[in-house]
Amino acid sequence: MFGYRVPAPDQAMLISGGRRGQGGAPFRVVTGHGKFVLPVFRKVRFLTLAMCEAEVAEKCVSRQGITLTVRAVIAFKVGNDTESIVNAGQRFLSDQEQMAVLTGRIFAGHLRAIIGSMTVEELITERQKLATEVLDTSKAEMAKIGLIVDSLQIQSIDDGDTGYIDAMSAPHKAAIQRQAQIAQAQASQASAEAEQEAARNQAEYARQTAVVQAQYNAEVDRAQAQAAQAGPLAEAHAQQEVLSARTELAQRAADLRQQQLVAEIVKPAEAEAERIRVVALAEAERMRIQAEAAASHGRVALDRMLIDQLPQIVKEAASGLSGANVNVLNGADGLGEIAAGLVGQGLTILDAVRRNMGAPGAEGEAKPKRRGGADDGAVEVR
C-alpha cells in the first residue's frame, strides 16, 4: 500500500518528522511490524541490527618491553532496545560502515592498555583472561554508542624477530623433546618387549600347535587303525551274522520241510496205517464172523448129516440085536423101551461124534433114561 513501510527482521525503521520519539529522540523507532508513513511529511531510514565483525591487528608492548603484534576479531551488533538503536542511529545511520572501524579502534586501545600490564608469559598462557578484561573495559564505552559485543577472539600473538616467545618456549620444547625422546625410548623398549613377547607367543603357539597337531595325528592314526581293525572285525561280525541268519533260515527251512514231510508223508502214512489197521480189523472181524458162520454152517451140516444117518445107525444097531437073545419082560412097553434105547444110543453116538469133531456137545440136551428094573419094563440084552 502506498505509504505503508515494513522493516526487515534484522532492521530497525527510523521515522523522522512529526512528533519526536521516546526519550526525546529525534525520530521514532519501529521494529517487528509495519507503519503507515505519510509521504513528504515523514522520512524513513533503516538501521541494521545484524551481526557485524571487526578485525584488529595492533602492535602492543608487554610489561617486559617486548613488542607484540596481536590480532583479534570482534563480533558486535546494535542493541535491540530502543535506547541502543537511538544511540547507534544518531552516530552511524548516515555511514553504518563506521561501526566496524570505530569498534576496531576502541578495542585496539583497550588491547594496548591491558597488554602493557601483562607479561608475555601471561599473554601466552592466559589468553582468555586478556579477552575478558578487554570486554569488561570496553563494555561501557560500546554501550554509549549503542553497540554490544557478542565475542572477542585473540587469534595470534607474535613477537616478530625478537625470538622471545621461541626462547620462552625452548625449555618447554626441550622438556617436550626430552619427554618425547623418553617416550620414544619407552615406546621402542615397549615395542621391543612387545616384539619379544610376540616372538615368545609365536614360539609357544608353534609349540602348542605342534603338540596339538601331533595329538591330532596320533588320534587320526589311532582312529585309522581302529577303522582298519574294525573293518575285518565288522566284516567277520557281518559274516557271522550272515551265517547265523543263514543257519536260522536253514533251521526254519528244515522245520518247514519237516512240517511239510509230516503233512505230506507222515500224516498220510499214519492215516494210511490207521486205514489199513481199521481195514485189517474189519477184515479180521469179517473173517471171524465168516469162520463162526462157517463153523456154525459145518455143525449144522454135520448135525443134518448125522440126523440123516441116525436111522441107519439105529438100523445097524437093531440089526445087531437081531441074533441076540432079547427077553421082553413087560410086553409092548418093554418093546417100546428097547426101541427108545436104540434111539438113545444113536443120539449118544451122534454127541460123541460132535465132540470129536470139535462141535459143541449136546450135554444140555435131554438124554433118554435107561430103566433096568423089571418093574419099569427094563430090557435086558444079552
- Tell which wins on pLDDT, 38 or 375: 38
Indicate whether 365 pLDDT > 50.
no
Indicate whether 328 pLDDT > 60.
no
Q: What is the mean pLDDT of the chain?
A: 77
Domains and CATH numbers, the chain: 1-50 (no CATH), 55-162 (3.30.479.30), 321-381 (no CATH)
Averaged pLDDT, 97-115:
92
- Of the candidates 314, 308, 371, the one whose C-alpha atom is nearest the C-alpha of residue 342 is 314
- Tell which wins on pLDDT, 320 or 175: 175
Averaged pLDDT, 276-296:
74
Indicate whether 356 pLDDT > 70.
no
pLDDT band for position 319 (50/70/90)?
low
**Euclidean distance between CA atoms 30 and 315, whole angstroms:** 205
Residues 322/338, Cβ–Cβ less than 8 Å = no
Cell of 360: 459143541
Q: Is the dihedral of CA 189, 195, 199, 200 positive or negative?
A: positive
**Euclidean distance between CA atoms 102 and 274, whole angstroms:** 154
Return the pLDDT at 382.
Answer: 39
Return the pLDDT at 347.
Answer: 66
- Tell which wins on pLDDT, 244 or 84: 84
Return the pLDDT at 338.
Answer: 61
